[in-house]
Amino acid sequence: MFEILGIPSSALFGQLLIGLINGSFYALLSLGLAVIFGMLNIINFSHGAQYMLGAFAAYLLLQYSGLGYWPALVIAPLLVGATGVIVERLFLQWLYKLDHLYGLLLTFGLALIIEGVARNYFGSAGLPYIVPESLQGGRNLGFMFLPNYRAWVIVASLTICISTWFVIERTRLGAYLRAATENPTLVRAFGINVPRMITLTYGFGVALAAFAGVMAAPIYNVSPQMGSELIIVVFAVVVIGGMGSILGAIVTGFGLGVIEGMTKVFFPEASNTVIFVIMAIVLLVRPAGLFGRRG
């Protein structure tokens, strides 16, 4: 064991790890928000609730169908993503011609409904979800102990984030998406079904949130309010990064997670608020956000 700035290395790296884990969730969620905002021009306030739904779907799959973590990691996002498709068809599609704020208000209402129903059936206490057998245990890296599951979360979320970036920025499908964001009418004139693309984009963004929820289940307890506090932090992350850039959302998410973790080591009282303080500073220095365009 050695010390850095008077802090034992195990504590420092331990918090760095927690920071990276939190950062993984910030990145996944702000990525989903950015993708949805890009296509629908709606800030999805129910993103946190849909993240929570993902965790609950994993919990229920285990309880009632005996399906473990790995099947849940595929099935839960598909299920929750499908509810997203329904929500878009039933509600959101009527709002595109209105002021953007109505989308925020409607999805806020949806978040209240989802959280209220979850609280009714599961109470406010957290439910435990066990780490899958194949990822239990960990390894000693010499300077710290690294649990296998946490390593997996970081690797998996980085992979998902970078794949999403690749699909949107480097493939034909992504080109359609970006074109439809710029000018939907023109893209429709080329014979591309833009409304269906919008529906599927929302479904995909919601599925991303659910995926994050499944990954979070073994780390945090599964509880109805797990999403609502997280989503506000993610909003601050989005304001700091700006929603113009996919890569920006990923970098900001991980970066802020790490900064938050380090704050826990050096100045624990501020760990809850550090991201909001950074947001205030960024607003003063670069109002458009670190990677954003003015808007």
Binding site for another protein (CB under 8 A): 37, 43, 91, 94-95, 97-102, 104-106, 108-117, 119-120, 228-229, 232-233, 235-236, 238-239, 269, 272-273, 276-277, 279-280, 283-284, 287-288, 295
Phi, psi torsion values for 247, nearest 5 degrees: -60, -35
- What single DSSP character describes residue 147? E
- What single DSSP character describes residue 222? B
Residue closer to another protein by CB (options 73, 245) is 245
Q: How far is the CB of 100 from another protein (least distance, A)?
A: 5
Residue closer to another protein by CB (options 123, 137) is 123
The count of other CB atoms within 10 Å of the CB of residue 116 is 11
Q: How far is the CB of 274 from another protein (least distance, A)?
A: 10
Residue closer to another protein by CB (options 102, 220) is 102
Q: How far is the CB of 172 from another protein (least distance, A)?
A: 29
Q: How far is the CB of 117 from another protein (least distance, A)?
A: 6
Residue closer to another protein by CB (options 67, 104) is 104
The count of other CB atoms within 10 Å of the CB of residue 73 is 18
CB contact at 8 A, 26 and 254: yes
Residue closer to another protein by CB (options 137, 287) is 287
Question: Which among 22, 27, 16 is positioned nearest to 262, based on CA atoms?
Answer: 16
Largest CA distance in the chain: 65
Phi, psi torsion values for 4, nearest 5 degrees: -125, 120
Q: How far is the CB of 120 from another protein (least distance, A)?
A: 5
